[in-house]
Amino acid sequence: SSVLRSVKTLAKPAGARGYSSESVPDRKVAVLGAAGGIGQPLALLMKLNPLVSRLALYDIANTPGVAADVGHINTRSEVAGYMGNDQLGQALEDSDVVIIPAGVPRKPGMTRDDLFNINAGIVKDLCSAIAKYCPNAIVNMISNPVNSTVPIAAEVFKKAGTYNEKKLFGVTTLDVVRAKTFYAGKANVNVAEVNVPVVGGHAGITILPLFSQATPKANLADEDIKALTKRTQDGGTEVVEAKAGKGSATLSMAYAGAIFADACLKGLNGVPDVVECSFVQSTVTELPFFASKRAWKN
């Protein structure tokens, strides 16, 4: 693909292992919460990504099975499973990108804020370990409530003296994925060509899909835009209710997480013009964190 070609041209020639193209750099990706509903399909999708040379799968339980299973797939990356706090350091060491889908998901009737008490503690501990074992890694925060877990991560990194605002991302890609799908359906355009920026935050009405900026342009009525906006904002709840107590979005979230991590890897490898929406430290509004389009700058 053209993306791989540009990675080859820009990347440093040394260091590729076990991969036909000598010029694709080694990149280690760690998934924390890898045995979960999101973690397992995300591990699969990251195993399929040719930009990854090492894939570390960490969870408090069940990672040996996931790692053995995914590890049999004949793609570039070497897979290793790590289980329990004692192995967290090894899982994180030398990571370029750390993806965090660890923690409890919503059940019907819960808001993302209801997850705060449990997930805040999990995220704090994992981020303390990141600060210690891979302080330069890019962090992709999936654990909810993203509107709170990202600021928590920032505080942990500040305290450890490792905070780099350019390397901490709240993953809001699923909002973008949903907005694209719903817009394409309503506007009757090819979904593969659709772009919709989604700004704000990652909970209910803080999710702001900008259908006025969607491409390809379509002349949708105001009430259609209103309905699309509401469906995008309530997309997570739609899945939570359909799963009826068995959790929240996992497969579409894994897809979205894989897209976002791939963008981070491309950015790291020097691919130009990598732009994604993400919940980041921001000066766009008076809020300290805000999701908006973010172009990668090394």
Compose the 138-177 pattern: x for residues touching ligand NAI by CB under 6 A, - for all others.
Answer: ----xxx-x------------------------x--x---
Residue 64 C-beta: closest distance to ligand NAI, Å: 13
- Nearest residue to 168 (alpha-carbon basis) of 132, 119, 201, 135: 135
DSSP notation for 164-213: -GGGEEE--HHHHHHHHHHHHHHHT--GGG-B--EEE-SSGGGEEE-GGG
202 in active site: yes
Region near ligand NAI per CB under 6 A, out of 17-25, 118-126, 153-161, 261-269: 118-126
Q: Indicate which single residue of 29, 67, 92, 122 sits in contact with ligand NAI (rule: CB under 6 A).
A: 122
33 labelled ligand-binding: yes
Q: 219 φ, ψ to 5°?
A: -90, 75
290 to each of 11, 33, 154, 164, 205, how far by Cα in Å?
Answer: 31, 25, 13, 16, 13
Residue 87 C-beta: closest distance to ligand NAI, Å: 11
Query: Which residue is listed with tokens 């990504």?
Result: 49
Q: Does 119 bind ligand NAI (CB under 6 A)?
A: yes
Spatial separation of the C-alpha atoms in residues 69 and 141, rounded to whole Å: 25
Residue 290 C-beta: closest distance to ligand NAI, Å: 16
The answer, yes or no, to whether the previous bond of 216 is cis (omega within 30 of 0) is yes
Q: Does 36 bind ligand NAI (CB under 6 A)?
A: yes
Q: Which residues pair with 187 in a beta bridge?
A: none
Residue 268 C-beta: closest distance to ligand NAI, Å: 21
Q: Does 281 bind ligand NAI (CB under 6 A)?
A: no
Region near ligand NAI per CB under 6 A, out of 3-11, 101-109, 213-221, 265-273: 101-109
Residues designated catalytic:
202
